[in-house]
Amino acid sequence: MYREEIKVLDCTIRDGGLINNHYFTDEFVRAVYKSLTEAKVDYIEMGYRSSRKYAPPGDFGDWKYCDDNAILRVIDGIDSDIKISIMVDAHRVLEQEFKPVDQSPVDMIRIATYVKDIDKAITLANRCEDLGYETCVNIMAISAENEYDLIEALDQVAKCPTGTVYVVDSYGYFFCEQIEHFVKLFQTHLPGKRIGMHCHNNQQLAYANTIEGIRHDSNLVDGSLFGIGRGAGNCPLELLIGFLKNPKFNIEPILKVIQDYMIPMREEIEWGYMIPYAITGSLNQHPRSAIAMRNTEDKDKYAEFYSRIFGVE
Amino acid sequence: MYREEIKVLDCTIRDGGLINNHYFTDEFVRAVYKSLTEAKVDYIEMGYRSSRKYAPPGDFGDWKYCDDNAILRVIDGIDSDIKISIMVDAHRVLEQEFKPVDQSPVDMIRIATYVKDIDKAITLANRCEDLGYETCVNIMAISAENEYDLIEALDQVAKCPTGTVYVVDSYGYFFCEQIEHFVKLFQTHLPGKRIGMHCHNNQQLAYANTIEGIRHDSNLVDGSLFGIGRGAGNCPLELLIGFLKNPKFNIEPILKVIQDYMIPMREEIEWGYMIPYAITGSLNQHPRSAIAMRNTEDKDKYAEFYSRIFGVE
């Protein structure tokens, strides 16, 4: 599949940070930045810009805050034209500060929001656009939203200057037919905006669903190295790059950083396809119950887990 | 997705046996048989009926031969209406003997063949149908076949009494558009026959591609417990059963046998998504080079493996 407009965002540091409270070493972040630069990936997402009031220092590593200085420290000396993205939770915005874009290493701010917080997301998007940043609005957990409310939110976002709105399958619930439905729904209600795809791999469909989004003209797609991300993780970047036939991409630096860093890391922290995440995904539930049970002695008691949560939420 | 005609075949013992030379214990085979029976899966494939001349005893476990007596031994005393399938390689047929179906525990014989051996497959299918067995013809590695030759083979199979012909993505190369193409091609050239789907998980697309087959009226679909199978493995049965909304299915016995047997087994033998299989899949190559490198000290040197095999075959 080749379409020049398709851009790829790597969310390794950001979504992966949800597993280890954002305690990645500078060496690792630097290696990822360097490899994605060489691979010609379009965007790297460094983490969240969280409020220190909501997320007290000491509980989290640097990539929970993504201060401009921290970003400048890890990219220092690496010649790169990759764009840097950070994420902000619309419902947890307090004193986060953003310098004007020309005084910051950040290029893009992605605003994660639930439908109920869409007004906060739009306010924040307006503020970031005014400062010169590219912005995205990522509407989470749409598989669990009332479609009437979702459409109302989309119609509001349509009037805001943000360039990209994401279809986010937070629970890893969708299969291809639903992806097609939502991408088309977003296109109908967001004329002129780019549609993004962020999929979770609970049912081993993150890559397939990303392809489905691309087939329906989604042009900003997320992946992560070896699929790292909370729970079952994300669309594996290595598969996505193999699929996109844009000759600018180079897969070898990606394979190298996976073998050097992700395989050893997978021995320390857990992500990827596991039965409890498949269960919550297939039941259209948040993975929190699966994450919790994976931290107990009963982490492999799948049948008991299933019978416990089936029909609960 | 609900369609009464959709039948599910579990190939845990057969495709899983390719990893351990078919040395599964009777206890394990019996547990799988029992759990699939309780889950109301339609078929269980026990292994291959191989010639002892080509596959000398001593090198392989019982499930390389699937003698009627071995099957009767493991199913003894379990009340079940699951159908039993065995596989035969058309290009390695010698003295394999089949009793008439009413004297055998076997219900179905699946004939695996390459396009070049289609005449052997048809001869064998005729023989098995005459003995009263249900038969399938599984045409392997079609992603690497000349389509003109494939169509000629399909037109020959169309004249044979076999009821089902499988689309087999042996290399784990296809994405949904190719699945649609081949299912429709098979339907065009095999009027009245059921189309089967057997997918490999090299690129994490086995489940997605099986769904795609189902969407285009494939009605016999393969899965395996926790996706076990050679290399990257197969479509995970647990996902497939979660997707098929036929109320007869019961997922809990499947989850139980996975937690009791497959998770410990995964510590002993290797299958599932790994970068070398993703590489051979994306390059439309047989996984043999990936299987070989996984048995060396360099099993995680992905970049080197990629640059070595890229463009070789």
pLDDT tens profile B21-33: 999 999 999 999 9
Taken in order A183, A189, A191, A197, is the CA torsion positive or negative?
negative
Parts of chain A belonging to CATH 3.20.20.70: 7-268
Nearest CA in chain A to B250: A303
pLDDT (0 to 100) of residue A140: 97
CB neighbours of B190 closer than 8 A, spacing ≥ 6?
B154, B157, B158, B165
Of residues A204, A256, A303, nearest to B204 (C-beta) = A204
Give residue for tokens 């609005």: A137
Exposed/middle/buried for residue A141 (C-beta within 10 Å: 0-12, 13-18, 19+): middle
Do A258 and B242 lie within an 8 Å CB cutoff? Answer: no
**B278 closest CB neighbour out of A176, A239, A256:** A239
Rounded to 5 degrees, φ, ψ at A271 are -155, 170
| Chain A residues in contact with B209 (beta carbon < 8 A) | 208
Q: State pLDDT tens for residues A233-258.
A: 999 999 999 999 899 999 999 999 99
Which among B74, B130, B141, B133 has a CA at the least distance from the CA of B102? B133
Task: With CB atoms and an 8 Å threshold, state whether A203 touches B282.
Answer: no
Given an 8 Å threshold on Cβ–Cβ distance, is A252 in contact with B306?
A: yes
> Is residue A312 scored above 70 in pLDDT?
no
Q: Are B202 and B233 in contact (CB under 8 A)?
A: no
Q: How close, in Å, is residue A296 to chain B by CA atoms?
A: 15
Give B313's pLDDT tier (boundaries 50, 70, 90): very low
Q: How far is A38 from chain B (nearest CA, A)?
A: 14
Q: Which of B215, B256, B282 sits opposite A242 (nearest CB)?
A: B282
CATH code for the part of the protein at B7-268: 3.20.20.70
**Interatomic CA distance for residues A105 and A85, integer angstroms:** 9
- Closest-CA distance of chain A to residue B122, Å: 35
Q: What share of chain A is helix, strand, coil (3-state, %, to 5)?
A: 45, 15, 40
| Mean pLDDT over each residue of chain A, to the nearest integer | 96
**Cα B145 to Cα A210, B179, B183, distances in angstroms:** 28, 14, 15
Entry pTM: 0.96
Percent above pLDDT 70 for chain B: 98
- Chain A residues with CB under 8 Å of B208 CB are 175-176, 204-205, 207-209
The ipTM (two decimal places) reads 0.95
The pLDDT of residue A29 is above 50: yes
Q: Which of B207, B258, B303 has its CB closest to that of A204? A: B207
Of A215, A238, A302, the CB nearest to B255: A302
Q: Which of A13, A28, A94, A42 is nearest to A244 (CA)?
A: A42
From B175, B207, B252, residue closest to A307, measured CB to CB:
B252
- Confirm if A250 and A39 have CB atoms less than 8 A apart: yes
- pLDDT, one tens digit per residue, over A180-239 is 999 999 999 999 999 999 999 999 999 999 999 999 999 999 999 999 999 999 999 999
Residue A96 has pLDDT above 80, yes or no: no
Q: CA neighbours within 13 Å on the CB side: how many for A56?
A: 2
Which residue of B lies nearest to A255 if distances are taken between CA atoms?
Answer: B303
* Inter-chain residue contact A263 with B300, CB threshold 8 Å: yes
Cβ contacts from A onto B, under 8 A: 107
Q: Which residues touch A19 (CB under 8 Å, ≥6 apart)?
A: A228, A229, A230, A269, A270, A271
Q: What is the distance between the alpha carbons of residues B269 and B264, in angstroms, rounded to a whole number?
A: 9
Q: Interface of chain B against chain A, CB under 8 Å?
A: 175-177, 201, 203-209, 211-212, 215, 226, 236, 238-239, 242-243, 251-253, 255-256, 258-259, 263, 272-273, 275, 278-279, 282, 300-303, 306-307
pLDDT digits 0-9 by tens, B108-154: 999 999 999 999 999 999 999 999 999 999 999 999 999 999 999 99
